[in-house]
Copies of this chain bind each other. A is one copy, B any other.
């Protein structure tokens, strides 16, 4: 199987569906690029595209889509509930298959340079691709939004990584970077006792000394009268689904509680499933090549 990268670009258009379709068209009809989803929101006035593909061809599709967005979206007239800094606002690259985070980082940087060169657009690198610690967090990079960019770009610590040192008049700036795929995974307990879910979440999350790359919270589900441990796994190669489920099972057991069921929210890389499958079975000498798929 080829290298596969995912890109989830966010565009600042969620009302004019002709423009939405025009931007999305860059991801259609291309060999080795697959448009998995796109959804626009009127209130947020924003659209999120999910596409996967071979790195070079997906990059070309992203650059084409950003070109359309730069031409068609005018942020001086843009209003919406979601914070935004650019017409093409955030462009994360996520390694999915046979690809390291470093390779996705290189792809993000070359994409940023292309966007700057082609469209005279200032580009900030974030997450894994950030050029300094204070530029890693998306909220920090975007703070001030489109309207605050001219002032922000006066500051030495907020010079763009690529492109001109001034705001694009209508398209603002783009934020590009690489990150690991995020897995949103919930474990529902056979108890209505929220305090147990909260205690388990506290025990397993990294911020309280638990498992690496695990964020967790306890919730109560009215519909099913169940307590839930809701998680984000920010790097499944550090802590995978098997590890969190079995850690929760062991913790729950100490309260005399069992796992009722689990839920995967959204998408998961094939590798995260393959790892879990192999771990549950104690599979020896197992390779992903043994899984038949086209």
Contact = CB atoms under 8 A, between A and B. Distances in A.
A292 B245 contact: no
* Interface bin, chain A: 35 or more
Interface stretch (A63-71, A72-80, A164-172, A283-291): A283-291
Nearest to A187: B281
A18 interface: no
Contacts of A6: 292
A260 interface: yes
Interface stretch (A136-144, A146-154, A268-276): A268-276
A129 to B, nearest CB: 21
B285 A52 contact: no
Interface in A111-158: none
A110 B269 CA distance: 37
Contacts of A277: 273, 276-277, 280
A241 interface: yes
A4 interface: yes
A82 interface: no
Contacts of A97: 293-294
A282 interface: yes
Interface of A: 1-2, 4, 6, 32, 34, 36, 52-54, 96-97, 181, 188, 241, 245, 259-264, 266-270, 273-274, 276-277, 280-286, 290-294
Q: Which 7 A-B pairs have the closest CB atoms?
A: A261-B282, A262-B281, A261-B284, A280-B280, A270-B293, A267-B292, A269-B292
